[in-house]
A and B are shown apart, each in its own frame.
Chain A
Amino acid sequence: MADAAVTTSSEQPTEAPSPHKRSLFSPFNIIAAILLLATAPFAIMRFTGGLGAVTALDHTNPWGIWIGFDLLTGVALAAGGYVTSAAVYIFGKEEYHSAVRPAILTGFLGYGLVVFALLFDVGRPWRLPYPFFVSQGVTSIMFEVGACVALYLTVLFLEFSPAAMEWLGLKKVRWIVVKLTILLTILGVLLSTLHQSSLGAMYLLAPSKLHPLWYSTYLPVFFFVSSIAAGLSMIIFESTMAHRYFPHLMDQRHKDESNKVALGFGRAAALVLAAYSAIKIFGIAADNNWAYLLTGYGVWFLVELVGFVMAPAFFFAVGVRDRNFKLIRGCAIWTVLGIVLNRFNISLIAFNWHLPEAERYFPALGEIAISIFIVTLGIVVYRFIVTRMPILYHHPDYHD
């Protein structure tokens, strides 16, 4: 197993504090343990008592927060992986290289948690491989969704694996995987493009259920474009968190490039959000839905569009012009919240909008608890990996 060595500059390696020497009873571990222990019984109940034991789902509302939050939001926020690797390996933006591994890790864990959440949401989770081996159903959009998740998770695993191999000292296997970097990046971009948009396309199946302001034939485009902004913002947010909580694990290059990443990704996010605002307006115009803007749902739609898309786009631009990194990082969190709101609106708030209040869906305590269980587990695994593997620093034994 490789040492947890960190370089303070590319030439001067120093020893990083070993995570194994720390007390097991750190505040993070205690809070994580409490959350996991408090929510684990609901996870057990899901598999012993079925969906009915822990959810408020029914035939009218078969998809709840496990789809709206864990899946739709999880996939969008995991987009940093393909965005960063495309920027570095395809567009040659080498100055963002230090962001690649954290982004790939976030993407890999994000998609891993999506599949983990699906095990809870799907009635018979042991049948998840059926679309590949038993009954393909290739004409269904769900086949595309499933195929893209499975294939992209595999690609992300391979893209992430060099870090694990450096940790384990598997030099030969790592060498082979590193040689496949470009191929994996291209596959990743291809599969992400298909997958992000196919999640939007999934809602094309429900034109009578989704509110007209959110329903549009451009939904696949909306999902794809917004995922780019989500990915860019998530990388800025993650870099901020890493700076705050793991500065001792970062080498000088990661520290130096942090502001450069915030500036470049903030600029890109401003442009993508501006374009996204425009195509959302095109969507209203194409379906002649202007009249709905004067209703309650219209006001809520404008809150999302103006408050969580246009405003962050403008303030990202102001932050980039003024080199105001605090503002850029604030806008990244703002955008991430905007994406969460958008996916919630599409999957929950504006879905089944015509139903009377009594028939509308509201998540049960068990659903919220299991979502907390999944997210906490994701953070614990992220921390485990970051404190052991060369994610925030360049391993001194490998120079490619």
Chain B
Amino acid sequence: MDGTIHTLQEFMMRTKGIVYILAIGFLVGFTAFWHFLWDREPRQKDLEKDS
């Protein structure tokens, strides 16, 4: 496979495949980013326990 795209089918297969892989990477990365953003916030459960 030399990476040349000859048909629309090949183009769609390749681009869609890459987008799906990127989307999975994004979901993992976004989850990590979410934790990075929230990990210093006290959890509701902890707040209730303290009170």
Contacts and interface: CB of A to CB of B under 8 A. Distances in A.
Interface residues of A, number: 15
Contact of B14 (A267, A288, A320): A288
A271 B22 contact: no
Nearest to A283: B19
Interface in B26-51: 26, 29-30, 33-34, 36-37, 39-40
A285 B34 contact: no
Given A274-B30, A278-B30, A317-B33, A285 B18 contact: yes
A288 B11 contact: yes
A184 to B, nearest CB: 32
Nearest to A278: B26
A274 B33 contact: yes
A285 B19 contact: yes
Interface residues of B, number: 18
B15 A288 contact: yes
Contact of B40 (A278, A282, A288, A321): A321
B5 to A, nearest CB: 8
Contacts of B36: 317, 321
Contacts, number: 39
Q: Is the interface of A mostly helix, strand, loop or mixed?
A: helix
Nearest to A270: B37
Interface in A104-137: none
B36 to A, nearest CB: 6
B11 to A, nearest CB: 7
Given A278-B30, A286-B15, A287-B15, A267 B37 contact: yes
Nearest to B23: A282
Contacts of B29: 274, 278
B19 A271 contact: no
A281 interface: yes
Interface of A: 267, 270-271, 274-275, 278, 281-282, 285-288, 317, 320-321
Given A271-B37, A321-B37, 7 more contacts: A270-B33, A271-B34, A274-B29, A282-B23, A285-B19, A288-B14, A317-B33
26 contacts: A267-B37, A270-B37, A271-B33, A271-B34, A274-B33, A278-B22, A278-B26, A278-B29, A278-B30, A281-B22, A282-B19, A282-B22, A282-B23, A285-B15, A285-B19, A285-B22, A286-B15, A286-B16, A287-B15, A288-B11, A288-B14, A288-B15, A317-B33, A317-B36, A320-B37, A321-B36
